Structure 1
Amino acid sequence: MSVEYKDYYKILGVGKGASQEDISKAFKRLARKHHPDLNPGDAGAEARFKEANEAYEVLKDPEKRKLYDQLGPNWQHGQNFQPPPGFENVRFGGQGAGFDAAGFSDFFETIFGGFGAGGGFRQGGFQDFGGQHARRPRRGADAEAVLELTLEEAYRGGPKNVTIQEQAPGPGGMPTMHTKTLEVRIPAGVKDGARIRLAGQGNPGQAGGPAGDLYMRVRILPHRLFRVDGDDVVTDLYLAPWEAALGTTVTVPTLERSVEMTVPPGVSSGQKLRLRGKGLGGGACGDQLVRIMIRTPKDLDETQRTLWQELARASRFDPRAD
């Protein structure tokens, strides 16, 4: 059988020194462009998708990539491309698990699907160099996804349905993407960057092993009224100069509902007033900080200007004094 060398770097459109991040980005770009679900009936697109997936399967894994780089385009020369020194101890897939070469090209299967009668890797699992087939059940790898929440959702907590995409075996062993909807229980007061664990919703196990876990990393979306500062939330309250000088009672929004707040006389711009227990943090809630912002009127009529001038003459207040 004649097996043609495949340049996986060229297939993904990256250089040989490309980082893992560059390789991942290149594959995702090609997968979005050529995925069969987005190109129904296009055999060429399906072939390019399979080719990109095969390339990514090798280059995303440091050990597979190392072997591929060492064999190179002259892999057919010599005694059936002997594996590099020390490679007999390599186990692809983690913890000694093998991998299935079904659905990939003859080149891929020849290198990664079996080294021939002398042992090595074979389609359907790992064969040790004594000739015995050993494929034990393995737990699937954990996965991670981003869970975007409004600030109100993070504050209240509760159930939320989330739709995610996951890769699963398709016809002929080729991986394919499909969507699934999960219910996530959000803890009240959850913070940005927190991780929520969904047991058994990660990558599938091997040889009948259990699936890994899925971790949803919380990202709190920007809010038009509030900013998050640790457990606290901060909002701005705009006052007229006379309200700041004389004190007032104003309605202030919170994450739960609007409340009446008393502003003491003589507050300054930038000063923060505290509404206790109105922040994030679940059982030990943070506070809501209300930052005072004083606005001065711009368009004064003659009467207003005269009154401000009289106030300036009567006042002994010096804003620049220590």
Structure 2
Amino acid sequence: MAQDFYTVLGVSRTADQAEIQRAYRKLARQYHPDINKDPGAEDRFKEISEAYDVLSEPETRRRYDAFGPDFRQVPDGMDPETWARARSGAPGGGPYASGNPFGSAEDIDLEDLLGGIFGGRARRHGPMPGADQEASIELTVEDAHRGGKRSITLGPRTIDVDIPAGVTDGQRIRLAGQGGRGTDGAPPGDLYLIVHLAPHRRYRVDGRDLTVDLPLSPWEAALGTTVTLEIPGGEAKLKVPPGTSTGRRLRLRGRGLPHPRGAAGDLYAKACVVVPSELTDEEREQFERLAAVSAFDPRSSDRR
């Protein structure tokens, strides 16, 4: 029996989009194969990604709720009760009557099904265009930034895909004519690839904006400095103003994910002041001298 996508994500069937997204992000961090080296983590991650692909898109979720795992095979306009009766093979029956919301996992021949429902009228009504289909594609932040060609495998097919530079998490890439096959010479449907950005060890993504941690020594933070920062697509010089404290965000305008038809996102470097774990005698002496002459109080009321 097909796995229930709601069960995969651990959410109720009434969960809203925010709950679904939170559940996906939590599970993705737990089972991503770059993080979890358990032999079954990759398969579990694929299940989680497929469930999120379906439930995060309102129209696809609606069809999934109506038809279960058969939703990709069902033509537009099909009535759920009619489909259920056809799946069960008996009038008034159907997969919901047996307590199994998704019915059996047997393959269905769409032409035979329509012929059985409408007494062969489907064939006389002429060609039927192929159904649109969806699949997921996972990219690193670097892949999303630069774009380029990728090959994906969907069942027996391998498809070459041009990834636009600057794709974002959740964006749909349309591949015209790569969906389900039409009947009687009708054109095929389209294939939509849903982009998922993999968790990254350095970058946090918010739309097209990126955030990266910027470790600073106490003297760099106090005196100011210029650092070379690794960013997607190369390096950038970043000026750190004097008096920078932990948590301050320094912006590099337009150095986030590019936008093919508008302004690129920004990159934010979040300052984090780091002290030496061990001090030499000279370093300790200098810090002690600084402590003796400085009137700075980080816990004073005017800093709260």
Give the TM interval when normalised to the shorter protein: 0.5 to 0.7
The residue aligned with 1:254 is 231
Identity %: 43
2:228 is aligned with 1:235: no
Structure 2 Cα separation of the partners of residues 253 and 195 of structure 1: 28
For 2:295, give the aligned amino acid. R
Using the alignment, how far apart are the partners of 2:123 and 2:169 within structure 1? 47
Aligned to 1:223: 200
- The reply to whether residue 138 of structure 1 matches residue 128 of structure 2 is yes
Contact 2:133 2:179 in 1 (8 A): yes
Deviation per CA, 1:47-99: give whole Å up to 9, x if none. Answer: xxxxxxxxx879x874343355583xxxxxxxxxxx559xxxxxxxxxxxx93
Give 1 or 2 for the bigger CA radius of gyration: 1
Contact 1:135 1:207 in 2 (8 A): no
Shift of 1:270: 0.7
Does the 8 Å CA contact 2:85/2:92 hold for their aligned counterparts?
no
Note the 1:1-322 alignment, pairs <5 A.
12=1, 62=80, 63-67=82-86, 71=90, 83=91, 99-101=110-112, 121=116, 126-128=119-121, 134-165=124-155, 178=156, 180-282=157-259, 283-321=262-300, 322=302
Aligned to 1:52: none
Q: CA deviation at 1:269?
A: 0.5
Structure 1 stretches of 5 or more lacking a match? 1-11, 23-55, 72-82, 86-97, 102-111, 114-119, 166-177
CA contact (8 A) 2:129 2:189 kept: yes
Map Cα deviations across residues 83-126 of structure 1 (whole Å, 9 max, x no partner): 559xxxxxxxxxxxx9334xxxxxxxxxx69xxxxxx728xx84
What's the CA shift for 1:207? 2.3
The residue aligned with 2:29 is none
Aligned mates of 1:220, 1:70 — CA distance in 2: 42
Output the CA distance in 1 between the equivalents of 2:151 and 2:70: 31
Unaligned runs of 5+ in 2: 8-68, 75-79, 94-108
Letter in 2 for 1:220: L
Describe the superposition over 1:167-211 as per-residue Cα deviations: whole angstroms up to 9, x where unpaired.
xxxxxxxxxxx2x22222222211110001011100001222111
CA contact (8 A) 1:226 1:234 kept: yes
Deviation sequence 1:105-157 (CA, Å, 0-9, x none): xxxxxxx69xxxxxx728xx8425xxx96241001110001111121121112
CA distance in 1, matches of 2:116, 2:299: 79
Q: Give the AA of the match of 1:239.
A: L
> Which whole-Å CA distance do the structure 1 matches of 2:136 and 2:205 have between them?
19
Q: Distance in 1 between matches of 2:241 and 2:123?
A: 80
For the residues of structure 1 that align with 2:233 and 2:172, how far apart are their CA atoms?
24
Work out whether residues 232 and 279 of structure 1, in 8 Å CA contact, stay in contact via their aligned partners in 2.
yes
Counterpart CA distance in 1 for 2:129 and 2:6 is 25
Given that 2:227 and 2:239 are in contact with CA atoms closer than 8 Å, whether structure 1 keeps it comes out as yes
The 3 A distance-change label for structure 1 pair 263 and 57 is closer
Give the Cα–Cα distance (whole angstroms) in 2 for the partners of residues 259 and 126 of structure 1: 68
RMSD: 3.2
- Paired residues in the alignment total 217
Distance 1:57 1:149, change over 3 A: closer
